[in-house]
């Protein structure tokens, strides 16, 4: 499949038309840019998309949950815009398959790293804003995060997945989750991979720190264990 066909497939999943050049930029990780002569990459679009994402989610929560105080609203917003949550959203549209990555990231599983997926998702939102306007960008955000907003059980797990997993395991009479963490890469760009075993489930997560990798692995385990209940 050609690059054009692949990106058409992505825009169909997203439900919005994005200028091809902007979409290509949104999908370009800095590792690819550096390996190809210093091309532009997606970090500026990511900065823009982060602001649009935060505003759209904040307004939705404020208008649909009038009885919640500021602290509760902030927690719910954090659970939806977190790296782990955005990476899950990205996997839902198979965003990893469309990334432009450098060889090093390709070899170390960059297409499924939570941090890269979340950052790219924000960049795609930014590209949508510039290409189709603020209303289209807001509509895209809400379509992507609606399943997260509609599931109140996710809030606690997304905010503190390790504690939520431990509590779920205890309720099921299982042993506490057991974690192990490995790291790879140079000191300035080290990637951590955490593995958690609980009950009969084994999941993995990646991140730029031991903590974020364990959180990603724990959330996946919580989701699988919840689904098997």
pLDDT in tens, 82-100: 888 898 899 999 999 999 9
- Torsion angles phi and psi, residue 198, rounded to 5: -150, 135
What is the share, in percent, of the chain residues with pLDDT greater than 70? 92
In this prediction the pTM is 0.75
CATH number of domain containing 186: 3.30.160.20
Catalytic site residues? Answer: 50, 122
pLDDT at 130: 97
Kindly report the CA angle at 217 between 119 and 186, in degrees rounded to 5? 60
Q: What is the pLDDT of residues 31-40, one digit of tens each?
A: 999 999 889 9
123 lies in the same domain as 179: no
Segments in the chain forming alpha helices (H): 3-14, 20-26, 30-35, 43-64, 70-81, 83-92, 103-107, 114-132, 134-149, 153-159, 161-171, 210-227
CB atoms within 10 A of CB 131: 19
pLDDT at 115: 86
Boundaries of domain holding 48: 3-152
Closest CA to 41 of 52, 29, 56, 53: 29
How many domains does one find in the chain?
A: 2
Q: How far apart are CA 60 and CA 172, in angstroms?
A: 35
Mean pLDDT of 203-214: 86
126 lies in the same domain as 23: yes
204 lies in the same domain as 107: no
126 lies in the same domain as 189: no
Residue 210's pLDDT band (cuts 50, 70, 90): confident
Asked whether residue 1 carries a pLDDT value surpassing 60, the answer given is no
What is the share, in percent, of the chain residues with pLDDT greater than 90? 49
Q: Provide the mean pLDDT of the chain.
A: 88
202's enclosing H/E stretch is strand 201-207
Asked whether residue 139 carries a pLDDT value surpassing 90, the answer given is yes
130 lies in the same domain as 67: yes
Mean pLDDT of 171-198: 88
39 lies in the same domain as 108: yes
């Amino acid at each position: 499949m050609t690059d054009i066909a692949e990106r058409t497939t992505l825009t169909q999943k997203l439900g919005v038309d994005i200028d091809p050049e902007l979409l290509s930029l949104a999908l370009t990780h800095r590792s690819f840019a550096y390996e190809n002569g210093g091309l532009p990459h997606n970090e500026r679009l990511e900065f823009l998309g982060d602001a649009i994402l935060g505003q759209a989610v904040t307004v939705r929560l404020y208008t649909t949950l009038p009885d919640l105080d500021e602290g509760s609203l902030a927690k719910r917003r954090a659970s939806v815009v977190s790296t782990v949550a955005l990476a899950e959203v990205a996997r839902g549209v198979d965003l990893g398959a469309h990334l432009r990555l450098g060889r090093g990231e390709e070899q170390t599983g960059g297409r499924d790293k939570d941090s890269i997926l979340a950052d790219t998702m924000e960049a795609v939102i930014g590209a949508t804003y510039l290409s189709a306007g603020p209303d289209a960008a807001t509509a895209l955000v809400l379509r992507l995060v609606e399943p997260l907003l509609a599931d109140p059980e996710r809030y606690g797990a997304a905010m503190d997945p390790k504690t939520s997993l431990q509590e779920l395991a205890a309720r099921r009479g299982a042993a506490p989750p057991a974690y192990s963490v490995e790291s790879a890469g140079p000191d300035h760009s080290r990637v951590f991979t955490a593995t958690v075993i609980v009950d009969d489930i084994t999941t993995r997560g990646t991140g730029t720190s031991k903590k974020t990798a364990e959180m990603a692995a724990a959330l996946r385990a919580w989701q699988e264990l919840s689904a098997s209940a």
